[in-house]
Chains A and B, each alone.
Chain A
Amino acid sequence: MRALLVIIALGFSMAIMVSIPAGIVANQEAAQSVTANFNSTMTTMQEEINKTATLIECQTSRGVFPGGQLGFPPGGSQQQQTYVEESVANEIRSISGVKDVVEFITVSSSETTSETINGPGGRTFTILRPVYTITGVTLNSSFIDDYSILPTNITAGENLHEGDSGVVLLSSNLTDYFGVGVGDNVEMYGESFTVVGVYDAAGQGSISQSNMEERSAYMNITDVQTAAALTGNVSRLDVYAEDVSDVDSIAEVISAAYTSLQVTTYKDRLSQLDNMQTMYSETLTSAQATVSATETVATQEIMMAVVATSLIVLFVMLYTVRERTKEIGTLKAIGFSNWNVMSQFMLEGMLLSLIAGVVGIAIGTVGAPLLSGILLPQISPFGSRGNSQFQPGAANPGNFGNFGILGVSTVTVTVSLQTMLIAIGAAVLLGALGSLYPAWRAATTRPAEAMRYE
């Protein structure tokens, strides 16, 4: 019974020693995976920006939906989507150096749906967003081919083509919402459209924020203008310059002439990327500080566990030696040498902590996530979910406005075989250390006195 209690107490001590290194390793791995994730995303984004270097994006002020800013759910100051006359597009086309102008219009349904998203630090938010957003696109085959203005990941049916009218390309979650498939009709803005294709909603288009899937539809721009009674209006113009060197001058002309348009060029997008990088490196610095703080705490805790283990063994063995003084006397009387007696007790102490080590590993393996959660500061500076991937917008290539790229999945703590073997070794060593003094006490007991002891 007493041995059992001792083994459990020792076992917990050992469990701490086992689970802490596992926790540290898990945290380090999490940090590494985040870094790798970030780096690959940055590379992709850089490539995308280079590809679209000639693009000047001109956007009217849009509703907060469906974007929202990083880490903060939309809400509060809801803006109204505004539009500009189509004639603006023609005027811009006449600016020298402009190659093409692609017109877009975005309208959102008046009905809303509430959605729960995960924010940073494990918080969740409930937001209201339109049931669907329709993007009207100038369906010109050269635009479609050259500027990837439509979603690319078609899962059913086919994409929109030049001259299509009365048809719609739906995101996969909208087909669920409407309960329709390819070839069915769906009613939007009071008009009926035939579904020609479905694209995968996850991480597509401008809404790359991890938690928000697109609830979007793509149509011919004139269909949208007619249905929404916005004939002659557009909400976004993608202006393509003949050459990268013209981009700055064209952007200047546009922003001077049309104050209602927000003009962004690859330089703005690069600076956005820089901001992200800065933000990320700040986050990483704080994460590294957490990791090193974790290691400090862990070192202290392991030291404490080591001391506790040795002390437990020490006291238990001292008690045992005292309790068995008479036995020690007997052993000496029948011819055991000091060394014989000492090794007996050392062996016993080592065996005790060996068993405790095994128990500790069992506790540690099962309870490592819990124990390291209690014992170590957690690294969770990266917020949100693990599997979010930034996918450069196909339909809206210029907009990097929202990114949920820094997701980290929950830290999984596992005890490695190596840690187990080290723990077993440490157990035996600490057992030897803790029983050294008691065993020495036993060995040097004077037999005549030991025999008198009751």
Chain B
Amino acid sequence: MSEAILKTEKLFKTYEMGKRKVPALYDLNFQVNKGEFVAIMGPSGSGKTTLLNVLGCLDKPTSGKMILDEIDVTDLPERQLYKIRRDKIGFIFQTFNLLPYLNAAENVELPMEYGKRSRSERRKEARRLLDLVGLAGRGEHRPQRLSAGEQQRVAIARSLANDPAIILADEPTGNLDAQNKSEIVKLLGNLNIERGTTIVMVTHDGHVAMHSERVLLLKDGKITKEKQGLHLAKKKLACPYCGSKIQPTDERCPACRKKLVAAEEEESI
């Protein structure tokens, strides 16, 4: 089996609401391998965001253990955790969370601000990352002058800034229309293939989740199901049923679709 980049053992997170204890995460044991694209899916209130916060070292688990890039981050104090967040993790948010008074390039540079790189190197890297997400030449634009999809691309570029071990995406398509949604998912898929970027994506959208390699279903803080994703990009645009070439937006080749339609018609009769 390939190398684990993220591993949780008996992870619990309990919120205390007065006297009542509300479990948000319950005995989570899973692992994300290097170069994997994992989606965590579940209805609202299932603990998706709590899980992502714990994985992103923004919140501490109540108990259990978490290992990130071979470092046990469970009991690290804040004065070391920020370095983990800066160097090992890239965050993508549902609401993009770009700083409105900084332009696109400056937003991308932000995580590198207190790193080792010189100013010119940071600037060069930001430009390179903006090129990578398809925003070449838009570095001078302020977020309010960019479309929602473009803003999320800037956020993705920012998450890649310190070449992190893992990208954590919290509903990255939640605020986007259908067109942008598929483009962003495609972009994430391509990054996963071309750069080998490990991605953990939380979503409640089944279509979006199916673009990953592996989908974990979360319910009441527990992983209830695990299934294979389609990850069209990784399958090199091949039909998962017959292996013939398909369009990136399609789930199966025209022939297989016909078969599926015919089968459904038969069932309905």
Contacts and interface: CB of A to CB of B under 8 A. Distances in A.
B175 interface: no
Given A326-B97, A448-B53, A334 B111 contact: yes
10 contacts: A331-B110, A332-B58, A333-B56, A333-B93, A334-B111, A334-B159, A336-B113, A338-B82, A446-B59, A447-B59
A324 to B, nearest CB: 9
A335 interface: yes
Contact of A334 (B59, B78, B79, B91): B91
Given A337-B114, A448-B53, A332 B82 contact: yes
A447 B84 CA distance: 14
Contacts of A277: none
B85 A334 contact: yes
Interface in A284-335: 326-327, 329-335
Interface string B69-108: 0000000001100110111011101000101000000000
A128 interface: no
Interface in B40-84: 53, 56, 58-59, 78-79, 82-83
Interface string A115-138: 000000000000000000000000
Nearest to A449: B59
B82 A336 contact: yes
A335 B162 contact: yes
B99 A330 contact: yes
A173 B85 CA distance: 91
Interface size class of A (residues with CB under 8 A): 10 to 19
A335 B85 contact: yes
A340 interface: yes
Residue among A327, A329, A333, A334 with most chain B CB within 10 A: A334
A448 B58 CA distance: 5
A344 B93 CA distance: 22
A6 interface: no
A451 interface: yes
B158 interface: yes
Contacts of B158: 334
A335 B86 contact: yes
Contacts of A446: 58-59
Given A333-B91, A334-B158, A327 B82 contact: no
Contacts of A448: 53, 58-59
Contacts of A340: 82, 113-114
B196 to A, nearest CB: 21
A441 to B, nearest CB: 15
A334 B97 CA distance: 11
B78 A333 contact: no
B97 A330 contact: yes
Contact of B53 (A326, A331, A337, A451): A451
A446 B57 CA distance: 11
Interface string A325-369: 011011111111110100000000000000000000000000000
Residue among A333, A340, A448 with most chain B CB within 10 A: A333
B78 A338 contact: yes
Interface string B100-132: 000000000011011000000000000000000
B97 A335 contact: no
Nearest to B164: A335
Given A334-B161, A446-B58, 11 more contacts: A329-B97, A330-B93, A332-B82, A333-B56, A333-B91, A333-B93, A334-B86, A334-B158, A335-B111, A338-B82, A451-B58
B83 A327 contact: no
Contacts of B56: 333
Contacts of B79: 337-338
A332 B85 contact: yes
A329 B56 CA distance: 12
A337 B85 CA distance: 10
Given A330-B93, A448-B59, A451-B58, A335 B99 contact: no
Contacts of A327: 97, 99
A448 to B, nearest CB: 4
Contacts of A332: 58, 82, 85
A44 to B, nearest CB: 70
Contact of A333 (B85, B87, B99, B114): B85
A331 B114 CA distance: 12
Q: Which 5 A-B pairs have the closest CB atoms?
A: A335-B86, A448-B59, A330-B97, A447-B58, A337-B82
A245 B85 CA distance: 104
A335 B91 CA distance: 10
Nearest to A341: B82
Interface string B151-191: 00000001101100000000000000000000000000000
B204 to A, nearest CB: 17
Contacts of A326: 97
A334 B86 CA distance: 6
Contact of A335 (B53, B78, B83, B93): B83
A335 B82 contact: yes
A448 B50 CA distance: 8
Residue among B79, B97, B110 with most chain A CB within 10 A: B97
A335 to B, nearest CB: 2
Nearest to A340: B114
A73 B93 CA distance: 86
